[in-house]
Amino acid sequence: MVFSNEAVGDKLGSAFVMPFKGNPIMSLSHINTEAIWLAMAEGMKKAFIACDKADKPWCVIGILFNENKIKHADQKKIMEWWHSQLILDNDYEKFHVEDFGLGDEDPSIQKNGLLNFPWLAPVRPEDKELLDDFDFVIATATVPTNEKYPNAEEVSDLVKADLTRRYFYQNVENGITTFQDDEIRKCMSPPAVEENGAKET
């Protein structure tokens, strides 16, 4: 699953935004601690940038600001610090933003670590007030692994083969979705069979 700037209109997915465990944030070092915890949860070994076995970045931690909540001066201060942390990462020179998008789409992250898409919109209108209370979010932008985004049938084949992690099912069961999920499930359902005038599904 990746962030994509092709995901607009009827191609939206859903995810959860979780507050930091150590709120309120009191310093840049506190943000760093939260970023480290996120990196560890994603298997990034406490780094802002993680590389695969071929030594190519597959994941970068990015930040996104709520423009209506956090002052521009504070955004600038945090952003300068965030960029400095990325530069300190040993793999920064391997980080190419064009890898974080397919074809002509805008990449999901900028070179300074700012996530490259608009502030988040609530799935349910009643959640707007809760979401508006966030100053910023941090999240992991990952590199697409194909030359084009897979269709529902291609994803369903991968889901069927995933017998251990059950990644797709775990996401859906916990409200983390993509616009393709219904179509993926249809591809995984056995075809209807007609026998003696009755249809079995």
Q: Please give the DSSP secondary-structure letter assigned to residue 169.
A: H
- Same domain, residue pair 141 and 154: no
pTM of the model: 0.85
pLDDT digits (tens, 9 = 90+) for 126-168: 999 999 999 999 999 999 988 899 999 999 999 999 999 999 9
The reply to whether 66 falls in a domain is: yes
**Which of 110, 107, 104, 57 has the alpha carbon at shortest distance from 83?**
110
Q: Note down the domain range covering 176.
A: 150-190
| Mean pLDDT across 33-48 | 91
- pLDDT for the residue 193: 57
In a domain, 200, yes or no: no
Q: How confident is the model at residue 199 (pLDDT cuts 50, 70, 90)?
A: low
Number of compact structural domains in the chain: 2
Strands 136-142, 49-51: parallel, antiparallel or unpaired by DSSP?
Answer: unpaired
Q: Which alpha helices (H) appear in the chain, and where do they start and end? A: 28-41, 72-88, 128-132, 152-161, 167-173, 181-188
Residue 34 inside a domain? The answer is yes
Same domain flag for 123 and 176: no
